[in-house]
A and B are shown apart, each in its own frame.
Chain A
Amino acid sequence: MTENYKPKVIGFLCNWCSYAGADVAGTSRMKYPPNIRIIRVPCSGRVDPLFVLKCFQNGADGVLISGCHPGDCHYTDGNYHARRRFALLRDFLDYLGIDKKRLRVEWVSASEGQRFAEMVSDFTAELTKLGPRSKV
């Protein structure tokens, strides 16, 4: 593992639940590592597997997709579709040699600021342990 390796994490957060949850983490001043870059989407169902591939191609070490808890999607079904898409993609990427631990799908509600912070810290720590993606 190279020294000074800081994992680059890209997160796709849905506007109604997880992005709001991340905001709550902010207003409550929870601390988490600064590696993550958050991209806002209307729904976790908007996240295209192609985006994930481009993230990894562009040097991301880990990708997070976060949406509402199943049953609570603001658009009713978006997270169910996301769940299917990424269940398949994660396994496929792992098969191609991209560790499945690098693609995380988490359900975070608009009030779960603490959970969001803990989850990002956990993910970043795990990615630090795994090392940079291109070197694997």
Chain B
Amino acid sequence: MARIGVFLCHCGSNIAGAVNILEVAEAAKRLPHVVHVEDNKFTCSDPGQASIQKAITEHNLNRVVIGACSPRMHESTFRRTVAGVGLNPYLLEIANIREHCSWVHPGQVEEATAKAIELVRKAVARVAWQEPLTPKQVGITRRALVIGGGIAGIQASLDIADAGYEVVLVEREPSIGGHMAQLDKTFPTLDCSACILTPKMTMVGQHANIKLMSYSEVEDVSGYIGNFQVKIKNKSRYIDVNKCTGCGECARVCPVELNSEFDENMGKRKATYIPFPQAIPNKYTIDKRGYPPCRVACPAGVNAQGYIALISQGKFKEALEVLRRTMPFAGVCGRVCTHPCEQECERGKVDQPVAIRTLKRFMADYELKAGREKAAPVERTKEGKVAIVGSGPAGLACAYDLVRQGYLVTVFDSAPEAGGLLRYGIPEYRLPKEVLSNEISYIQELGAEIKTNTPVKNLTEIFNGGYKAIFLGTGAGMSQKMGIPGENTPGVLHSLDFLRQVNFGVKVNLGSKAAIIGGGNAAVDAARIARRLGVSEITVVYRRSRAEMPAIPSEIEEMEHEGIKIHFLAAPVKVLSKDNRVKGIQCIRMELGEPDASGRRRPMPVKGSEFTLDVDNVIIAVGQGVDKAMLAEDLAYTDWGTLSVDPVTLQTNIDGVFAGGDVVSGPADVIAAVAAGKEAAISMDRYLRGIDMQEGRPETVKRVTEVSKDVVRPIARHSMPTLELEKRKGFDEVELGFDEKTAIAEAQRCLNCAVCSECRECEKVCEAQAIDHEMQDKISEEDVGAIVVATGATPLDLTQFSIYGGGVYPDVVSSLQLERMMNAAGPTGGEVVRPSNGAHPKEVVFISCVGSRDPRTGSGYCSKVCCMYMAKEAIMIKEHYPEAHSYIIYTDARGPGGKIFEDFLIRAEKAGTTYMRGQIDSVARQDGRLSVSGQDFLTNEAFNIPADLVVLATGLMPNRDVAKLFQTIHISYDAKNYLLQAHPKLRPVETAVDGIYIGGCAVAPTDVPESVAQGSAAAEYVLKLFSQEAIEAEPMTSVVDITKCAGCLLCRQVCPFQAIEAETLRDGRTVASINESVCKGCGICVVACRPGAIKLRGFSDQQVLAEVMAL
């Protein structure tokens, strides 16, 4: 039988001033089960609490209702009160008659009193249904996690570690130190920031109790106070920190330079870097952001950024080495590749893509001119013998990879010389034989044997010869016939046969007029060769329009430049002959209809539009096919007549036989063949070693997505010099390539999308052998009992404030940029200079409240530190440059926090700084200086100050992406992403979540002394927790009544914490079962349960319904 006591609080006049407490008391007396009612001036005070205890004992109360402030305020207080006299602390209910009543309904005593009565009645109804609850005692993991390595996090870590407990300190950047490390001097003492910070940083680095995880981020947090499980991503530095000595050789040779974030874009750093000299840990980090778009676009995965970065430094030999890691065809592909990389090149979004293909060619030409050293043969380390049929690009690329892995490789080709279509298809003026032969020799020097004039008729012979795996790169060497009448007339040639003959050196007799049928590269090559063989009138007949023509655009351009015409939208109907020789060709006009299977619009003949071209020769270049009769074996072919292979492993239907290139894909480009050869090499190596060929393929690559283009000046792409038209009689190369100077200039246009280009020069110079480019991100799992969040804040980006010239004029800088200049270890060596001309400024204007106190631009809050640091910076400038003068245009000049702060502002003024209270209208350029115009509020006059340097005191905002982290941890934050405290006055370093503490700028803008204080305060809460024997787990969890459970398990599906499992009872029934330790008490499952089998203790249906019905 419930015996309820009701205790009403006046809270001084906070409640009593708006609510008639005595009336509420009278009403309470009449409520069911209420046996005692009293009121108190201050219930939470000692006498107030004692009174409750006395009443419980005297009147034998077994339930307590307190009408007072919010339960979020004092529920725990009063729970302890009742527990003090032996009453279960959960048999207590609080009616919120202050925050929800007296404080929000002032001057409406009647209504507020009626409401208070109802709230008390509701609480009484609820508490009658409350059961006693006993919290479980749970152990505490006495380790702490600190997130954020700025001064607040550092202080918290040191305090906890010094007390003897282990701390895991997670910092996102490669070094701890935060923004304090960027400062030159600190106010008000003008201590050198590094001098006071670095000893603490060193202590953190060396402390036996601190596990420092730099360059890491928290990925997931689960659990509850005393028992958190945390997952931390340790980002890969590509450098083993245990081996790195910090010698700096890697940075010296690194070709990639970018703006240094630590120096606020005033200085540069390399892709491998230590952010600042006193960094902890003092180890290098390689900033690699994924694969650059060029590398991802290349079917063969060539690392273009790698070699381009080295070319830009004049390291041509090393650049060629980078390419040769992937494939050997610098000269070949540098001339004929279709360059998909250039399509994806991010530079193309600024002006034009980098001339990647031509730069590749440059490396090859440079080496060839200087004389290539013979390559050293690769040591045979593998057992197997590998045969490659066909020495085109696919076969050669496959051979190249396998011979380098230590296999014995033999390449067979029926032709007299190796190269396939590279030699017998592509004409000399595009790809000189000398270049091709040089690169084939390279492969042979490595140890691959090439047997020319050796056709392969069947594969069994090859296997019998001891070869264990075979690659077929036999190409699509059969010219496709058109199937028109007269195709076999002498004078009609098919393109591949024509090209072959010319490249063989056979003399081909052509007349003076020729028609070339087709629009691909073979057609264009045939046309341009015909020109060089003396044919004067050449017409290319293509059945679609220019937009659909598949040949390389630069080739089409050069062809037209050479005077060859193109007849679009026409197709041949029949070959006209006389005396068994070609006389002409009858064509018909076409128009484009609906798209066909390839997606291109289908050409349809226009009835009655026939016309005739008088020609002596017709060269047909409409396609290439695979010669199925080439091999004896029963290989599987696709519907298109090409070899059928597994799309991942490239194995044919015969075990151990692989294929790639045109023979599989149909006519395609060289780089696709190279890619296929390389892919097959992977398969063949795995096949020979007997391991799974499918695993991990195709490889997933992380393509860089965001490439900043802010600081890029447009520079046009350097154009390819070409041979003058008059000189193009013979087969001399038409494209001439870049010279050294042009190559370096063009390479410098590269944006270095991935930052680290994987050129691997660093590996060569690292004596400690600490570099590992294959390193992967790791996930660490840590168990901790408490978490401190000190993720800090960052000043707003000054480019947002173009009205003050931020991001517009180089002489408008942010305060942090000025700090970096003032710092002796900074980008200007401690000299404060005008970025525009490097001169010392005479007049400096500081603009305060840039993005602070203005909800439109920033947080709307005061950033607290700016008034002090502007004074500091003005004092420092005066100290360095006595002739310089500073203005500080302020809104309010505050020196908060004690008299030395106020004194500091006065000191700045005494040093000659002019303080002007006013507002800035604009900053403009005038006579080579800046002109700052505004209104002086004290004199009411407009002003116009000529300045050399303008410094913006940009406001502080929480660090980027913190909202996501806070959501992961389940702590509350406001609309500007600042953390919310448990109570803004009395609990400033706690959050609403037990066990998670906060401090520093992540909560609100603070200066260094306050951050230190808050860091220590947070540590104190952690230590307080750890000093307890055990903690009580929240007993308000859910439980299933199996007599009502239907086993539908909808609850299991909705539980966010996976706290619910299916359980089979002895009678075979399935019911739901809730794990008390994991249950967080949200109650989603209670609602999902239709029969109402789940009870959330403390918020049961009975209790809530009782509240509803009492109203």
Contacts and interface: CB of A to CB of B under 8 A. Distances in A.
Q: In the complex, is A directly touching B at CB under 8 Å?
A: yes
Given A20-B72, A26-B104, A39-B1107, A78 B974 contact: no
Given A39-B1108, A42-B1036, A54-B1105, 13 more contacts: A10-B1111, A16-B992, A22-B99, A32-B105, A39-B122, A41-B1104, A42-B1083, A71-B967, A72-B967, A78-B1056, A78-B1082, A111-B972, A111-B974
A46 B1096 contact: yes
A54 B1109 contact: yes
B118 interface: yes
A27 interface: yes
B126 to A, nearest CB: 9
B170 interface: no
B967 A75 contact: no
15 contacts: A25-B99, A27-B99, A31-B105, A32-B104, A34-B114, A37-B118, A41-B1104, A46-B1084, A48-B1086, A51-B1104, A54-B1108, A60-B1111, A74-B970, A75-B1080, A110-B992
Nearest to B1085: A45
Interface in A71-87: 71-72, 74-78, 81, 85
A23 B70 contact: yes
Contacts, number: 141
A40 B1080 CA distance: 16
A34 B112 contact: yes
B105 A58 contact: no
A23 B1086 contact: no
A10 B118 CA distance: 11
Contacts of A101: none
A71 B966 CA distance: 11
Most chain B CB within 10 A, of A19, A49, A117, is at A19
Interface string B104-136: 111010011011001100100000000000000
A29 B122 contact: no
B975 interface: yes
A58 B1111 contact: yes
B1084 A43 contact: yes
B1087 A85 contact: yes
A27 B114 CA distance: 21
Given A25-B104, A29-B104, A34 B970 contact: no
Given A27-B103, A31-B105, A46-B1099, A37 B1104 contact: no
Given A25-B99, A48-B1086, A78-B1082, A39 B992 contact: no
Interface in B86-110: 96, 98-101, 103-106, 108
Contact of A110 (B99, B980, B1084): B980
Interface string B70-89: 11110000000000000000
A31 B104 contact: yes
B1101 interface: yes
Given A16-B992, A17-B972, A41 B1083 contact: yes
Nearest to B94: A40
A77 B1099 CA distance: 18
B1054 interface: yes
Contact of A23 (B99, B105, B1056): B99
Contacts of B108: 34
A98 interface: no
A93 interface: no
B1081 interface: yes
A66 interface: no
A90 interface: no
A75 B1038 CA distance: 14
A25 B1057 CA distance: 32
A77 to B, nearest CB: 4
Interface residues of A, number: 48
Nearest to B118: A37
Contacts of A42: 1036, 1081-1083, 1096, 1099
B1084 A38 contact: no
B109 to A, nearest CB: 10
Contacts of B1054: 77, 81
B9 to A, nearest CB: 14
Interface in B945-987: 967, 970, 972, 974-975, 980
A75 B1056 contact: yes
Interface of A: 8, 10, 15-17, 19-20, 22-23, 25-27, 29-34, 37-43, 45-49, 51, 54-55, 58, 60, 71-72, 74-78, 81, 85, 109-111, 117
Place the interface of chain B in its size category: 35 or more
Contact of A111 (B980, B1083, B1105): B980
A127 to B, nearest CB: 15
Interface of B: 70-73, 96, 98-101, 103-106, 108, 111-112, 114-115, 118-119, 122, 967, 970, 972, 974-975, 980, 992-993, 1036, 1054, 1056-1057, 1080-1084, 1086-1088, 1096, 1099, 1101, 1104-1105, 1107-1109, 1111
Contacts of B71: 40
A33 B114 CA distance: 13
A49 B1092 CA distance: 13
Contacts of A39: 122, 1104, 1107-1108
A39 B1081 CA distance: 16
The 9 A-B pairs with the shortest beta carbon distances in the complex, nearest first, are A26-B99, A46-B1083, A75-B1082, A45-B1084, A34-B111, A77-B1056, A26-B103, A43-B1082, A76-B1056
Contact of A72 (B72, B73, B972): B972
B661 to A, nearest CB: 51
B974 A37 contact: no
Contacts of A72: 967, 972
Given A20-B72, A51-B1108, A38 B972 contact: no
Contact of B1111 (A22, A37, A47, A109): A37
A45 B1082 contact: yes
A42 B1087 CA distance: 13
B972 A46 contact: no
A135 to B, nearest CB: 19
Contacts of A49: 1087
Contacts of B99: 22-23, 25-27
Contacts of B1084: 43, 45-46, 75, 77-78, 81
A71 to B, nearest CB: 6
A15 to B, nearest CB: 8
B1082 A46 contact: yes
Contacts of B974: 109, 111
Nearest to B976: A111
A7 to B, nearest CB: 12
Contacts of B70: 19, 23, 26
Nearest to B1084: A45
A75 B972 CA distance: 12
A51 B1086 CA distance: 12
A110 B98 CA distance: 17
Contacts of A29: 103-104, 106
A37 B1111 CA distance: 8
Given A23-B99, A71-B967, A109 B1104 contact: no
Contacts of A117: 104
A30 B100 CA distance: 10
B1109 A20 contact: no
Contacts of A55: 1108, 1111
Contact of A45 (B992, B1057, B1087, B1111): B1087
Nearest to A28: B103
A48 B1091 CA distance: 13
A51 B106 CA distance: 30
